[in-house]
């Protein structure tokens, strides 16, 4: 009984904390809802691994190889990379490689988040997480985005587009939870022109990669490159 009371209190505190952290002037939407004209943008691509406690840690900042994949995917759509701001859009790509079974989702198993220290002052809890796989609300288009991403990945492999040997065959690690897996978080922030702000978010997951201890970034790199390109080509 005492344990039940403690859990209820913790749940209430977590809910209060979540409400307190929400910015009333910020709207977080699915990336497929982004309907603005193309323009110039700044880009940040970061790689993360899970540390011994299951917390994401930054291991590669501003990865030039992945930046190349992003710019080549967006250039035909009219987006022009600007080395430094200001620009019309700020695009962030956060890539995680890890054993999702070992990830620390917090005391109430709520979310696996990007470290706030990496994002800085623009960080908001409403956008910067990889897990859980949930939409931005009832009937959200982001939920459909996740399904579409899974279907695109399966179709590409079936057609022989990619030669990589994916293992497990489970985009969300249900069958082989101890295999390494890649997670993608894309955050697009238009330049703010007033107090009201919008952030457009999309998430994706790779198939299981390999069963390698500690899941170093290179284990998931190729799969993550493919997932990022597929996501950008289908959302923009």
Q: What is the CATH number of the domain that holds 219?
A: 3.30.160
pLDDT of residue 15: 47
For the chain, what is the largest distance between any 2 Cα atoms, rounded to a whole number of angstroms? 61
**Which residues of the chain are modeled with pLDDT < 70?**
1-22, 109, 133-178
Question: Which residues have C-beta within 8 Å of that of residue 63, sequence separation ≥ 6?
Answer: 45, 46, 47, 95
Give the chain's domain count: 1
Both structure tokens of 30: 């699915």
Both structure tokens of 139: 């009937």
46 within some domain:
yes
2 within some domain:
no
pLDDT of residue 178: 67
182 within some domain:
yes
Domain enclosing residue 74, as ranges:
25-235
Number of residues that make up the chain = 236
62 within some domain:
yes
17 within some domain:
no
Cα R_g (the chain), whole angstroms:
18
5 within some domain:
no
pLDDT of residue 21: 55
pTM (predicted TM-score) = 0.75
């Amino acid at each position: 009984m005492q344990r039940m009371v403690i859990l209820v209190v913790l749940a209430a505190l977590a809910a209060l904390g979540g409400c307190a952290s929400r910015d009333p002037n910020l709207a977080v939407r699915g990336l497929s809802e982004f309907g603005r004209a193309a323009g110039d943008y700044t880009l940040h691509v970061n790689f993360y691994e899970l540390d011994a406690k299951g917390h994401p840690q930054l291991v590669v900042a501003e990865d030039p190889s992945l930046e190349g994949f992003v710019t080549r995917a967006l250039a035909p759509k009219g987006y022009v990379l600007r080395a430094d701001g200001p620009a019309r859009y700020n695009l962030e790509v956060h890539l995680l490689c890890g054993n999702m079974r070992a990830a620390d989702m917090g005391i109430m198993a709520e979310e696996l988040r990007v470290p706030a220290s990496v994002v800085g002052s623009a960080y908001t809890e409403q956008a910067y997480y990889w897990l859980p796989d949930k939409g931005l609300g009832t009937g959200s288009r982001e939920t459909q985005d996740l399904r579409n991403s899974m279907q695109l990945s399966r179709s590409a492999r079936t057609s022989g587009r990619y030669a990589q040997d994916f293992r497990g065959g489970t985009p969300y690690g249900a069958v082989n939870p101890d295999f390494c897996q890649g997670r993608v978080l894309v955050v697009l922030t238009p330049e703010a022109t007033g107090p009201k702000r919008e952030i457009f978010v999309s998430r994706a997951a790779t198939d299981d990669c390999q069963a390698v201890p500690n899941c170093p970034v290179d284990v998931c790199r190729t799969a993550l490159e493919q997932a990022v390109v597929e996501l950008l080509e289908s959302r923009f």
